[in-house]
Structure 1
Amino acid sequence: MFKKFLYIIVVIGLAVSCSVRAADTNVSLLVLGDSLSAGYGIAEADTWVAEIDRTWSLHHPNLRIINASISGETTQGGLARLESLIDRHQPDIVFIELGGNDGLRGFNLDTMESNLREMVTILQSRNIQVALSEVEIPPNLGRRYTRMFRDVFHTVADDKGIPLIPFFMREVALNAEYMQADGIHPNLAAQPVIADIMEPQLRALLEAL
């Protein structure tokens, strides 16, 4: 009887510890992006990723965000760097915000899709959760290319069974007050706005672990 009682206590204890994992265990999310996340034209400490890091440090100290974004990065570059980033940071989740530079340069979309799929496959094989950002580009290369480009992200997310996060630039790109003179990159004033958009979505991913 005592052994049965002890077994029940152990099982309950394990269930409770699993249910509160995100509340009492440090978990991390790595942002693998391009200039939109790296903070082209502004200081690294002022990026939307850094804004989220400060918020989490104050209000969610068990959560950590790591910015591994590089201006000019492509899906091929992200794929080439991925393994070393995993080994260095050991993230629980990777948020991939790549593809914009592929599209702006008119790269082959099959290659871009293959790179995204390979990144997701690598992460899933190492039991790391993945979330993919939608990415949109101006229609400079024609409506057909632009539509096919946008569809890649939905196809990869659906096929791989991963979350697809709405493109955060959609909320700021049409507001000149939030854009740099090139019309592509968000400025300093846009960073807190993007952080407000992304913080609850990224936090939800970590708290669901």
Structure 2
Amino acid sequence: MVRSIFIKLLVWGCLVLALPASAASVLVFGDSLSAAYGLNNPQQGWVSLLADHLEPKGHTVINASVSGETTRGGLSRLPALLDRYQPDFLVLELGGNDGLQGLDLNGIQERLQAMIDLAHQANTEVILLGIRIPPNYGPRYTEPFFALFGDLAAANDLVYLPFMLEGVAEDPDLMQSDGIHPTAAAQPLILQNVLDILPATLR
């Protein structure tokens, strides 16, 4: 009897030691750039690659990204997702489709701020991924659009990646024919950009 209890305690102790010090859940909340748009297999997308990297460490990755999503749609969807998953981290990757539509910059920033506020109210740490858009609307729009992500990061003291497609968007061989979405070959590079800024608790 004593020997049986001892063995059970020993096994339990080994399981505890095997667990990560701080397992965390990560909710990725983005648009087509995070939804593996145009790829033959969703598992090729950078979010799936992130899960492959983090889940062996005991973390959980949930991808709630939707192709075509805007900040308006994201703001309407986020409360239910925060309530359902109660994530430790929110990787916020939205705004690109708003920019492509030339929507009002103040409105984009206000809706992103509202999502950040919702996450903080749920005790969720926000990781903000910034994006650049093509120069169609000229620098008077595209430069302030890019800058608003940095402004949000500074105002809210967020972990921040200025341009998630750094090293990718400049290379036509890494972009699909539309010039907007990255290829499967680009996904590991995007993953590395994200990994480089992840909090130490995840890395």
**Fold equivalence (TM over 0.5):** yes
Question: Partner residue of 1:122?
Answer: 118
Question: Partner residue of 2:20?
Answer: 23
Structure (1 or 2) with the greater helix fraction: 1
Question: Partner residue of 1:44?
Answer: 42
Q: Is the 8 A contact 1:33 1:97 kept in 2?
A: yes
| Structure 1 residue 123, shift from structure 2 partner | 0.9
Match of 1:188 among 180, 184, 187: 184
Q: Is the 8 A contact 1:28 1:206 kept in 2?
A: no
The 1-side partners of 2:113 and 2:199 are apart by 24
Uncovered stretches (5+) of structure 2, i.e. residues with no partner: 1-18
Equivalence map 1:1-209=2 (5 Å): 23-42=20-39, 43-58=41-56, 60=57, 62-202=58-198, 204=200, 206=202
Q: Is the 8 A contact 1:103 1:137 kept in 2?
A: yes
Q: Is the 8 A contact 2:166 2:193 kept in 1?
A: no
Aligned length: 185
TM-score, normalised to structure 1's length?
0.82
TM-score, normalised to structure 2's length?
0.85
Q: Secondary structure at the match of 2:151?
A: helix
Uncovered stretches (5+) of structure 1, i.e. residues with no partner: 1-21
Provide Cα deviations, 1:76-112, integer angstroms capped at 9, x if missing partner.
1111110111122111010111110000000011110
Q: CA RMSD in A?
A: 1.8
Identity %: 42
The 2-side partners of 1:205 and 1:67 are apart by 19
